[in-house]
């Protein structure tokens, strides 16, 4: 199975988790997913200071700046596998 296929399977497994991961886990998943699919975050698109949720998500993504698509995919897959092991799938 190619890295892209593994990544796509992991993205599907996130939606099948028995329980919602912690906020920190969700932010980590978001940052890795965006880095793997879009690339580096554009500072011009940073949310306003009163958009706390958007700001947290943007910071999780921009913290991955410079990470290659492949490395972000590998880290995302590893994170999902860890969550599946601890939470389980439906």
pLDDT tens-digit map of 34-88:
999 999 999 999 999 899 999 999 999 999 999 999 999 999 999 999 999 999 9
CA gap 32, 11 in Å, rounded: 11
Q: Does domain 3-87 have CATH number 1.20.80.10?
A: yes
Q: Is the pLDDT of residue 12 over 90?
A: yes
pLDDT of residue 49: 87
pLDDT of residue 88: 92
With b for 16 or more beta-carbon neighbours within 10 A and e for fewer, the 46-84 pattern comes to eeeeeeeeeebbbebbbebeebeeeebbbbbbebbeebb
Average pLDDT over residues 18-37: 97
Average pLDDT over residues 18-43: 96
Q: Is the pLDDT of residue 22 over 90?
A: yes
């Amino acid at each position: 199975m190619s890295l892209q296929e593994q990544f796509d399977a992991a993205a599907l497994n996130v939606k099948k988790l028995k329980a919602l991961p912690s906020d920190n886990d969700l932010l980590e998943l978001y940052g890795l997913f965006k880095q793997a699919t879009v690339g580096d975050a554009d500072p011009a698109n940073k949310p306003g200071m009163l958009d706390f949720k958007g700001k947290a998500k943007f910071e999780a993504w921009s913290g991955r700046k410079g990470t290659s698509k492949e490395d972000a995919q590998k880290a995302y897959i590893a994170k999902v596998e860890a969550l599946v092991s601890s939470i389980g799938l439906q």
